[in-house]
Structure 1
């Protein structure tokens, strides 16, 4: 059996330095974006006062921020040539945070997609999600349900926190931990595929009425599925390959499989950057609010993003246009703070 030090050491130092750079770039880009989004949810939308998906979206962004906090630590370990921290406490604490917050991110994305499916495919029926989402307790319940699924990372000292197949007397614990890893990705992905197919079919069957909201619902659930496919499925497949190679005791192949797996795990952290862009900023209401607060120079005189097609002959009177724009912005702000889900528009 390999020693802990050998198993924790990166075989290809330049490759892991590159991985650390990737994680730092993800951290630098995603943290400010998530912080600006969470500021709007708290101080402008006042998410706790709304009976909508705002609460779910807030928890989604919160999970992403907590996950981002772990990235500098992992990047540092990779940069010095270690796959995991040799410190047992740090190692297990990192795994606990990564399991918990990535699981929360996946859970809230799934709940948002399921809610959109119920609203679009079964709009007239009362469902448990419509009732539960009126209370912030459902979000707390999701966090609490994720805790027992994360406990296996804290039960014992893993060999480099990754000992599956190496400690026979603890095989049950390892099987439970690996089952959680695969289940929290594969099951939500199947649910997302189902929701996407059902909403697309609903859009095809709708021949009259407003199809705009349906198209946005299709865009939302499709985006969730694509992010899952990009961020989570590759690392899941590579994990399966790694376990097969490890059981076959092919040490040379395992060395390469470990490097691929660690690299694809770095790719999975990209969801912290994609979540706010796809699920929050895809909403026209939230996009307008975000632009007005952080990128006002992109707002045109008609309240839409600046575009050459929006220019008119009235541009000779800037003072009048500025006053009109300010009035529109105030009306938009009032609407955003009193209306519901920013993703239903």
Structure 2
């Protein structure tokens, strides 16, 4: 059984949830409004990536409870395969949509005229449906495996969720994990790297792009590749190690922690890639600051003054006092 250090895992999960949920909600609202007004393929892809991150964050509290209980599953068991399926499916969904965004950006600078003439929102919608179905079909193994109980292997433990596997289960699971690593990580990583390296090379050769805009685009490309490799690389390496050693490596849960960070790092990509997200964030920030200032002003202005001297409360003399003077 793998063990996740309670303090470490809870800290990562809580940080990811607290920072990722509001930022992804803001991104969802922004992209939903943009797609509603004028659907553009890249906005449709980013909207799907945001939905995937939000779905991941909604089910993240189940992992928090599991870790807080010492990796013991004391919730209704049907939530175990369901939460595990959504948890892992949305992780690989991110690799798909990050790759799709990289392809969209590369085609936009490599073949600007042809791409603009052939670009249709319906293509992005069809591609998004295909990517969702591909990840759902591949990760269905996560939902099926907890119920898989070959004859003669004994009852399946119901107090542990997707951690303890029999030899019969591992004979099926380990090759599937290797296939997930190749199809859902390695191939998208190669495509994403090719697209963004070519994207940077083309941008450096274009003379009519401002320096600030060029640096932002290059930073976006390099940042996306870095997030892709660091967040998803170690966890997928654990699939290869598990296939070779014929058992799940003990550090697999710690590698999975890096994958959870993707949900709070994606909004940074949105911020760099979308002027609408930057504008929405600035608007929210100004609104919050103005409310804080108004609250402070109201607190100061309405604060009661306690002074026993009546003259201090009314510094202007009354008519009788004026005559006495």
Coarse TM-score class (shorter-chain normalised): 0.7 to 0.9
Pairing 1:1-345 to 2, within 5 Å after superposition: 7=1, 10=3, 15-42=5-32, 44-47=33-36, 49-82=38-71, 88-126=77-115, 130-131=119-120, 136-156=125-145, 157=147, 160-162=161-163, 166-167=167-168, 171-172=171-172, 174-206=174-206, 208-212=207-211, 213-247=213-247, 257-258=249-250, 260-296=251-287
Segments of 5+ residues of structure 1 without an aligned counterpart are 1-6, 248-253, 300-345
Whole-angstrom distance in 2 between the partners of 1:182 and 1:91:
26
Segments of 5+ residues of structure 2 without an aligned counterpart are 149-155, 291-325
151 and 133 in structure 1: CA distance in 2 versus 1, 3 angstrom threshold: same
Give per-residue Cα distances to partners, 1:270-324, cap 9 Å, x unaligned: 111010112334434431232123435789xxxxxxxxxxxxxxxxxxxxxxxxx
The total of aligned residue pairs comes to 277
135 and 163 in structure 1: CA distance in 2 versus 1, 3 angstrom threshold: same
Determine if contact 1:132/1:138 at 8 Å carries over to the other structure.
no
TM-score by length of 1: 0.70
Partner of 1:327: none
131 and 235 in structure 1: CA distance in 2 versus 1, 3 angstrom threshold: same
Whole-angstrom distance in 2 between the partners of 1:18 and 1:135:
39
Whole-angstrom distance in 1 between the partners of 2:215 and 2:114:
21
Query: Per-residue deviation at 1:217?
Result: 3.3
**SS state at 1:82 partner:** coil
**SS state at 2:112 partner:** coil
Structure exhibiting the larger radius of gyration computed from Cα positions = 2
Whole-angstrom distance in 2 between the partners of 1:109 and 1:184:
12
CA RMSD after TM alignment: 3.1
Partner of 1:314: none
TM-score by length of 2: 0.73
Give per-residue Cα distances to partners, 1:93-136, cap 9 Å, x unaligned: 12210222122222111101111011112223349983465553
Determine if contact 1:85/1:91 at 8 Å carries over to the other structure.
no
